Structure 1
Amino acid sequence: MRTGTFKSDPTVTAVSLDAKPATVEIQDCLDTSGYRLVYAKDKRSVPGSGGGRHLSTATATRYPDGRWLINYGATHRDQPC
């Protein structure tokens, strides 16, 4: 199971409202340094499951009914932040 705190503070990096469909690019530095995978039975940390800080990107698209939904997202573990 997971325990701890997952931190996120996303920022909009690009807006394309005139595009069909309209899109917004989002960037974040996901901080999982305090978020751990542990064994449910005794709460020991699972080896190799330590967190860190990594760049994450996403694209939100506005659908015809007016909803904004994330249609793409990726965590770039090779790009610390």
Structure 2
Amino acid sequence: MKARVHVMLKDGVLDPQGEAVRHALGAMGFGGVGGVRQGKVIELDLDAADEATARAEVEKMCEGLLANTVIERYEIEVSA
């Protein structure tokens, strides 16, 4: 099984990296960009019996290490 985790800052949390990207895009002539949020994608290869087991394991990984749940949210995708 493969899992992909998308981690992003929660709404309302300042994103200085996103703001730097927005500013740089404006300087490059892309003036129509009103806001940028930057995050990370984590891809995992898993030995799991089924999708539900894989999802539960990845959820534990996110809560324990992959995301700072105080300021970040995450979404999990699981595929065979």
TM-score under structure 1 length normalisation: 0.25
More strand by share: 1
TM-score under structure 2 length normalisation: 0.25
Select the structure with the greater relative contact order (CA < 8 A; seq sep ≥ 6). Answer: 2
